[in-house]
Amino acid sequence: MSDDLMIEVKNLTKRYAGHTAVSNLSFTVGRGEIVGLLGPNGAGKSTTMRILSCFLPASSGTVRVAGLDVFTESREVRRRIGYMPENNPLHLDMRVREYLKFRARLKGLGRKRSRERADVVMEQCGLKDVSRTIIGHLSKGYRQRVGLADALVHEPELIILDEPTIGLDPRQIRAVRQLIKGLAASHTVLISTHILPEAEMTCSRMLILYEGKILAADTPENLQRLMDNTSRIVAEIAAPEIELQECWAQMPEIEQFDVSPTDGEYFRCALTARDGIDLRPRIFALTRERGWCLRELTRKRHSLEDIYVQVTRPEEEEEP
Ligand code: ATP
């Protein structure tokens, strides 16, 4: 395993009774990367993360973290990982600082070091003002911060966060995302989410998981480029419908088109270009030549959401 790799997963499979949650999964995460594990509910994200964090044995395959085998060297691996599980279980009756010190001690830090680290992570996670508050009295957003502080307290190299913003309000989501982004400078981060903009905003690379398998793995930009090969143009033109139909049918650059009436004399033309050609200059010139009125000309880029929906679409729903 190269020194640049923080995670190396090879042919990982996890079977529960009668059900395969993760199937022959292979991927790597480099040091310093923020990688998003993205997929709908039940895709196998939590299962993968639990195995990486030594909380669950695999059925087969190998997983190495910082060059160490998670099955045979799990004590060493745990020291290097800060894991925030889904639902963020905390001791609700403890005060924030007391809890973080307690967690640091559990993770093997000495008394003095635990105090120091509790203070550092409270600062880092914006918890100074609530250091003496009982965790059960905190809002959900603050509890997430405590979970994050807990994951960071023993100075792990790798942070694994399972759905860290689930159930938070938009303001709390922003605060937690900011925090995660701030970690990127000095940590490797693996974050699971089924919220696409979250992955898009925080991650340098995304692994799209569906039914226990990786369907796509790339940077958000490259995934987008992949889809741009079939770029779509929308033009709203005032012209006789039949002429519009004939015109698009005769243009070799157009692979598919749809013409539908809107208000007044205008028709909305949705045009799919061959090989990702940008048809806009051609359409503009054409409307001028013919003396047609043009009131909208836009290139619709595929959003990451389209990609997500497309790659995670069950086969029976696929278009012929
Ligand atoms: P979610 O976002 O809903 O947590 P996920 O992508 O994290 O989804 P997993 O929790 O890893 O998915 O679950 C993957 C599959 O394995 C699901 O079909 C789930 O029902 C199943 N599964 C998970 N844990 C167990 C278990 N302990 N016993 C049996 N099946 C399980």
* Percent residues over pLDDT 90 in the chain: 55
Is residue 19 within 6 Å of ligand 1 at its C-beta?
yes
pLDDT in tens, 142-195: 998 999 999 999 999 999 999 888 877 888 888 888 888 888 778 999 999 877
Residues 191-209: tens digit of each pLDDT: 998 777 777 778 889 898 8
Q: Is the CB of 16 under 6 A from ligand 1?
A: yes
Q: Is the pTM of this model over 0.85?
A: no
Report the distance separating Cα 140 and Cα 176, nearest Å.
11
For residues 283 and 233, the answer to whether their CB atoms sit within 8 Å is yes
Instruction: Decide which of 120 and 310 is more confident.
Output: 120
Query: Which residue has its alpha carbon closest to ligand 1 atom 17?
Result: 42
- Taking only the tens place, the pLDDT of each residue in 240-261 is 999 999 999 999 988 889 999 9
> Closest residue (by CA) to atom 20 of ligand 1?
42
Q: How many CB atoms lie within 10 A of CB 240?
A: 11
Identify the band that residue 34 occupies on the pLDDT scale cut at 50, 70 and 90: very high
Nearest CA to 239 out of 277, 265, 264 is that of 265
Of the candidate ranges 14-23, 40-49, 122-131, 170-179, the one whose mean pLDDT is the lowest: 170-179
Residues sharing a CB contact under 8 Å with residue 317, sequence separation 6 or more, in sequence order: none
The reported pLDDT for the residue numbered 314 is 56
pLDDT at res. 208: 87
In the chain the domains, ranked by start, together with CATH numbers, are 5-226 (3.40.50.300), 229-301 (3.30.70.3190)
Cα dihedral sign, 74-80-84-86: negative
Instruction: Give residue 137 CA to ligand 1 midpoint distance, Å.
Output: 30
Q: Distance from the CA of 23 to the center of ligand 1, in angstroms?
A: 13
pLDDT confidence of residue 230: 58
Residue 193 Cβ inside 6 Å of ligand 1? The answer reads: no
